Amino acid sequence: MMIRIKKLPALLMVGTTLIFVLCSFSFITPGDKKPVKPKVKPKIVNIVNFIRLLEPRDPKVTEDVLYQTVVKQVEIMNKYKLRGTFLLQYDALMDARYQKLLKSLPAGSFEIGAWWEIPQPMVEKAGLKWRGRYPWDWHANIGFSTGYTPAEREKLADVYMHDFKKIFGYYPKSVGSWFIDEHTLNYLYQKYKIVASSNCKDQYGTDGYTLWGGYWNQAYYPSKVNSYMPAQHQSNQIPVPIFRMLGSDPVRQYDTGFGTTWQGVITLEPVYKDAGGDAGWVNWFFKQLVEGESMEFAYAQAGQENSFTWDAMSKGFEIQMPLIAKLRDEKKLKVETLVESGTWFRKHYKTTPATSITVNEDLGDSDRKTVWFNSRFYRANLLWEKGTLRFRDIHLFNEKLPSDYLTKKVETNVCAFYTLPFVDGYLWSTPRDIAGLRFKTVENGKEVLLTGGDPKVTNPAAGKLHISWPLKSGNGTLIMDLDEKKVVIKVTGKVSNNWFLDLNITGKADLPFKKIANSKISCQFKGLNYQISTPNGSFSRPNNSDIFRVKPGMNTLTLNFADSEAK
């Protein structure tokens, strides 16, 4: 990930490996004699390692330590015949040792691309004044494209691309960063024909960078006015898929840091001893990746930036690489370079597809299960815990919401990217009061949580996710169908006409709700008005509060998240 405070404050960008796992199940329909093979659902892993020349935050991390880290990464990837991507920051690009090392790699197995952090030599060669404290400064207004005007961003892009081509003989096709602005991304596409990009996983306040409410994992086509927001229409999108980095823990990452101003890190990054550096966690992560319902494709990024050094990452790296190779050999994963995955994505999808991330079993004795659903219109997260169910998160996407950095540069040392909140189980929570939209019923005159067993998650048709949750009350079943624009919920059994959803929040939550009417909730966030509607249910305000309850009509509740009236 990014800079991890208290340890090495180095920007943690885990190198990523896109893994495409090919499912090989067959189905026989009534009357058929031959099995009908379903659509292949690849499981993709990118091993992406990005390279900095220097590390000014720790004098023990010398340029030679950083170089030897990359040498070790190459060595172990070659040992297991793993394909991968190395992304070069400009100062490392201009270093003769890295040029020689990377030119020696077989082009058929390794991709060389650009890492879009902005160091002093790149700025000065573009004719701009360096404002940093060190030759590389990780602050958002100095070390990232957001710290420069659109015209300056183009000059920086031209410098990098000119020198990269002079050294390698071609322009890079992949450009990754913790975050990259939409003007730069579109410019790199229009002029240099890049194919793929990557940005940081969702996080709040970590290293001073907030990316919150976006398309969770997998990849999306960004809006021309907001690189963090999926576009809803092909005409408004940059046709360069952005892959989400770092391999977040689908269960735990979201909740970490309740009551603080920044989150910790629970990811596939090999430096984290309780996650990517732990064999038990790593095996669990890849099992869920391979077996969980993903709808279109599953994705994970492996690897690590060299700033963490080989000593810190070696244990996790040596746990992950042989496992990835084993799963590849078993044809459960497909290991690709970032540009190969971007090319595949562009071939298969004209607009951002609906995908999911499914965890069917948690680590240890935990009974938690989760589903992340993403489309070009919204994301939603369901969490089962101790037999109960809640929407932990729902955020809407709208290409009419411009980035704060579309036309102007950031003046502070932090950056923040958001989407449109409807349920925010992190920002609206405290350690003692966990927010969420909870499923409830009434028993003996008292409101209680619905309880049930293990859910079954399937993909019955393209773009559709089906969830069946057996209930304990009355032996019924809660059935949920999600598609790219809406969620439809029904319940069978004794509670079929006696269920509803309640939003629970902490008392200090900053809510977007402006008006809660019977058939819709009107919201406003960052100056944009938007709404969530129901054609068959009803919203209300329990006890005249600022939060809402939503009830079904005739045992069916539809929530529309494709807001046609956003303005």
Read out DSSP for 128-188? Answer: -----SSSS--STTTSSGGGS-HHHHHHHHHHHHHHHHHHHSS--SEEE-S---HHHHHHH
What is d(CA 93, CA 87) in angstroms, rounded to the nearest whole number? 9
Percent of the chain with pLDDT over 70: 92
Kindly report each contact of residues 462-471 with a partner whose C-beta sits within 8 Å and lies 24 or more positions away, as own/partner.
Answer: 462/39, 463/295, 463/353, 463/354, 463/375, 464/354, 465/293, 465/295, 465/354, 465/356, 465/371, 465/373, 467/371, 467/382, 469/384, 469/389, 471/495
Pick the CATH number of 17-352 from 3.90.1010.10, 3.40.50.150, 3.20.20.510, 2.30.30.790: 3.20.20.510
**CB neighbours of 498 closer than 8 A, spacing ≥ 6?**
441, 442
Residues of the chain with CATH 2.70.98: 369-560
What is d(CA 39, CA 41) in angstroms, rounded to the nearest whole number? 6
What is d(CA 301, CA 1) in angstroms, rounded to the nearest whole number? 11
Could you please state the CATH topology (level 3) that the domain comprising 369-560 is classified under.
Beta-galactosidase; Chain A, domain 5 (2.70.98)
Give pLDDT tens digits for 333-376: 999 999 999 999 999 999 999 999 999 999 999 999 999 999 99
pTM for this prediction: 0.91
Give the chain's mean pLDDT.
91
Q: What is the pairing mode between strands 369-374 and 355-359?
A: antiparallel
What is d(CA 372, CA 37) in angstroms, rounded to the nearest whole number? 26
For the residues of 42-92, what is the DSSP string, one character each? -EEEEEEEEE-S--TT-TTS-HHHHHHHHHHHHHHHHHTT--EEEEE-HHH
What is d(CA 217, CA 357) in angstroms, rounded to the nearest whole number? 8
What is d(CA 200, CA 115) in angstroms, rounded to the nearest whole number? 12
Q: Is the pLDDT of residue 407 over 70?
A: yes
Torsional class of 444: left (φ above 0), alpha (ψ -120 to 50), beta (otherwise)? left
Residues of the chain with CATH 3.20.20.510: 17-352
- Across 19-28, 81-90, 435-444, 555-564, the highest mean pLDDT is recorded for 81-90
Q: Is the pLDDT of residue 318 over 70?
A: yes
Q: Is the pLDDT of residue 7 over 80?
A: no
Q: Which residue is listed with tokens 């008292």?
A: 446
Q: Is the pLDDT of residue 379 over 70?
A: yes
Q: Is the pLDDT of residue 566 over 70?
A: no
